[in-house]
Structure formats: structure tokens, C-alpha cells
Amino acid sequence: MITSPIWRGKRFAVLGLARSGVATVRALVASGAEVVAWDAKETARDGLLTPSFLRGEGRGEGLSQATPLATAPLPTLSPAGRGLLEFADPETIDLAGFDGLVVSPGVPINRHPVAGKALAASVPIIGDIELFAQARGDLPAHKVVGITGTNGKSTTTALIHHILETAGIPARLGGNIGKPILGEEPLSAGGVYVLELSSYQIDLTFSLDCDVAILLNITPDHLDRYDGFAGYAASKARLFSMQSPEHAAIIGIGDTASAQIARGLSARGERLTKIAPGVCMDQSRWPSLQGPHNAQNALAAIAACQALGVSEALIDQGLESFKGLPHRMELVAARNGVAFVNDSKATNPDSTAPALAAFDRIHWILGGQAKSDDLDACAPHFGNIASAYTIGEAGPRFAALLAGKFPVEQSGTLAAAVISAANHAVSGETVLLSPACASFDQFRDFEDRGDAFRAAVAALA
């Protein structure tokens, strides 16, 4: 894990004990900090006292002995002199004197009562990415690439990481993808940390100076956490305000908000790379990077790796060998010339639109828990659709919106939609799950939905 002597003797409250919260607690306590940890779920609190955590997973960084869950301080971590851990809800304790309140990105700090309490006590509200930024001075010499944007950031992050590994450069994947960054082993000198950063994570970060900062796009999303769209865009822009002006900035300028941010950085000159929409590229050698949106993702990754000194030949090798990510334009099967593509991660119309642009003759499966009342972002690509099959809560409304544009079936369930689409599709066509909706009406999450699509395809006769 990543530790730092700068936290020794300091006091932190940690709210939220999912993966990043647990990694944060371990890193802080192993560094000698005093930590008050809390999660509303008792099972999450109990998770900090599992044998693996108590043992430090064999690294001598866990508790010295098993201790029942309690609000009293627990034993000193071994070896002696490490920090202390206790359990208490930050809302119920005096936060005066704490050096930070570390919250999970999922905590809505714009309306959570603990935010006002921390502000009154002059305690900074931070996240695990800010702690990583604070620890950088104690790590072997390295660089950091930060990637944000409403859509495409996971693919771009994974692609950059893959190209670096292909080039033989030590790299770690973290942030909003993969393992929590504080739970990773530090890289050797010359390594690169590649971080996918959501707006929530950027909101909780104040000193991350990325050697390469990337903004792919900004479209309306998560507006319940911001004062309108302008507030959401301002959150994305903070990635560059934290950055030293001599470091590289890469921005897609296909939307007004991103273009405005790029104009504000024009003084950086050659250290600013703008990626215009509609660039014609030969993507035929990149099987997992099809469609215009992946052209933008690839251009951002190429610019980032060039800024890091990777040769053109090694960049090409990485692009050609990249396998893509699950649930993101993932080819799960080809049957009788029909491709079955899982794009379950597309949870809003803006993220579905690129998938519709990537294929001809699409049998489109869409619906779920709607984030939007319309499908306007998808409309420019309706000419590619052979037929549509709606599912979930949004199924009836979407069917009504699409009626008359092409054949539409209200399938109701994903399994029924797959069967019907497969029966109608002919060789050369694509059955595409790209729901333009959240999954929570019928599934645990988008991954569960994508897995169900895979299973339904596998079950076809």
C-alpha cells in the first residue's frame, strides 16, 4: 500500500468504508495516523476487523490482535508505534482538531450534514486521491496521468495503461477504475500512475498536479450534485487549475463547455493539445476501438503517451493489442454473421450515441431507469437502426418516442429482447445492448446487466 510519514500523528475521520475507504483507513493507520472510521452499514464496519485486515494481509500492517467492534480506541497497529483506529460517526463527534474528513466519492457532500459540521470546525473535506497527491513526495520519482470526462474516461484510462505496459513502462491503474490507488504497491522509479477521475473525486482533491491531464468531453450528468450544468463543468475544469502550467493538457473540444475550458488554457501553447471532433482515422487495425468516440479516446491516449515519451511504434503496438473493457462496446459473440455487442455501461443517451454511430444495421436494445426524458442525443444516428427493443421502466416511453422511425418492440425484459433481436437480425447486422439508462430497475448495476446480456446470448439456440 501507499503510506507517507506526513500523516504520522495526524487525526482523520473516514466516512464510507467501501473499497476506497478501507484502503484509506489502512494507509493512514499504517502511516501512524489516528483514524476514526464510520459506515452506516455495520457489515462494512465489521469488514475492517476481518482476519485479513487484522493481519495486514501478511505485511505486518494490521491490528496486533482481533478486537470486537467498539467505539473505544482499538489496539496500536503492529509494529508498535503505528496509528490508532476507532469507530464513531463523524456527525456525532467533535471534529475540532482533525486534520481531514476523508469521504467516499459517493457521499453527496453538497447536501450531507457532515459537510456543514466539517466546515464549521475548519476541517478540510478530502478524498483518497487527495491523500495520494499528498503522499507523492515520498514515492519514487514518477509521473501521473489524470483522465476525466463524462464519457469515455474508463476506456481511455485503460488504453493509456495498456500502451505504457506494452512499452515496458511500470504503470498503475487507479482512481475510478481498478483497485483503490492507496491500496496499490508504490511503483519503482520512472513509473506512471494512470488515474480515472470522476467529478466527485476531483471535488475532493486540491493538490493533484498531473503531469498529463485529459478532459474528453462534458455532457449533462450528475446534476443533482451541482448547481446546474455550469457547476458540473467547473468541477471538471479544476483538474487543470491544480496543474502546473508547464505540464501537458489534452482536451476534446467537441462540446461547448470543454472548448471553453481549452480556450482558457490557450496560454499554454504547445503544452495544450486540442482534439477536434470528426477526425478521420484508420481504425481498422484497432478491433476494440471502433466508432468515432473511440477515435477521440485513441487520440487522447496517443497524445498522452507522446507527452510521456513513448515511441510511435510502441504506441501503435498498444493500440493494436488493446482488448477493450467489459460492458463497453464489448463483442461478446458472433453467430451466423450477426455480432452481439455489450455496451451496458452506456447509462445515458449521450453515451449511447457513439455506439449507434459505430455500426450499420443495428438491432438496438435500450431502456431501464431513465436519466433523460428524451433520446435527442441519439437521433443523428437513427439511420443506422434496423429495429429497437425496449426494456424496463423506460420501455413504454422510449417505444413511444421511437414509434414511426423504425420498427419498435416493447420486449419488457432483456432476455426477451435478446431472443427477438436475434430472430430478426441477419448476417452483417449487429445486436447492440446500449441502454441509454441506468440499470437499477431490473439489475444490481450495469455490470450485472451486461452479464445478463452475455448469458442471454449464450443461451440462444
From first to last of its 461 residues, what are the pLDDT tens digits of the chain?
999 999 999 999 999 998 999 999 999 999 999 999 999 888 888 878 765 554 444 333 333 333 333 333 343 333 334 568 889 999 999 999 999 999 998 888 888 999 999 999 999 999 999 999 999 999 999 999 999 999 889 999 999 999 999 999 999 999 999 889 999 999 999 999 999 999 999 999 999 999 999 999 998 877 778 889 999 999 999 999 999 999 999 999 999 999 999 999 999 999 999 999 877 788 889 988 988 889 999 999 999 999 999 999 999 999 999 988 899 989 999 999 999 999 999 999 988 998 999 899 999 999 999 998 999 999 999 999 999 999 999 999 999 999 999 999 999 999 999 999 999 999 999 999 999 999 999 999 999 999 999 999 999 97
Can you tell me whether residue 145 is helix, strand or coil?
A: strand
Instruction: Dump strand ranges (E) for 27-136.
Output: 34-38, 84-87, 100-103, 125-126
Q: What is the pTM of this model?
A: 0.82
Top-tier CATH class for 131-321: alpha beta
**CATH 3.90.190.20 holds for 330-458:** yes
Q: Which of 37, 46, 47 has its CA nearest to residue 13?
A: 37
User: How is domain 5-126 classified at the architecture level of CATH?
Assistant: 3-Layer(aba) Sandwich (3.40)
Q: Which of 29, 34, 36, 35 has its CA nearest to residue 78?
A: 29
Task: Please tell me what DSSP assigns to residue 124.
Answer: P
Residue-level pLDDT at 50 = 60
Spatial neighbors of 294 by CB under 8 A, at least 6 apart, are 152, 155, 283, 286, 329, 354, 358
Q: Which of 326, 324, 372 has its CA nearest to residue 345?
A: 326
Q: Is the dihedral of CA 97, 102, 103, 109 positive or negative?
A: positive
Q: Write down the residue that cell numbers 438496438 correspond to.
A: 364
- Domain boundaries, given as residue ranges, for the chain: 5-126, 131-321, 330-458
Residue-level pLDDT at 416 = 98
DSSP string, 320-374: HH----TTSSEEEEEETTEEEEE-TT--SHHHHHHHHHH-SSEEEEEESEES-S-
Q: How far is CA 224 from CA 16, 159, 209, 220, 232, in A?
A: 20, 30, 28, 11, 10
DSSP string, 409-422: EEEESHHHHHHHHH
Residue-level pLDDT at 54 = 46
Residue 401 neighbours by CB distance under 10 Å: 19
Spatial neighbors of 270 by CB under 8 A, at least 6 apart, are none
User: Is beta strand 171-175 parallel, antiparallel or unpaired with respect to 142-148?
Assistant: unpaired
Read off the C-alpha cell for 410. Answer: 416493447
Q: How far is CA 369 from CA 218, 316, 378, 438, in A?
A: 21, 39, 17, 5
Read off the C-alpha cell for 88. Answer: 464513531
How many Å apart are CA 363 and CA 341, to the nearest integer?
10
Phi, psi of 256 (to 5 degrees): -60, -45
114 near 101, Cβ under 8 Å? yes
Residue-level pLDDT at 47 = 78
Task: List the beta bridge partners of residue 190.
Answer: none
301 near 313, Cβ under 8 Å? no
Residue at 352: amino acid letter: T
Task: List the beta bridge partners of residue 183.
Answer: none
How many Å apart are CA 390 and CA 352, to the nearest integer?
14
How many Å apart are CA 215 and CA 229, to the nearest integer?
16
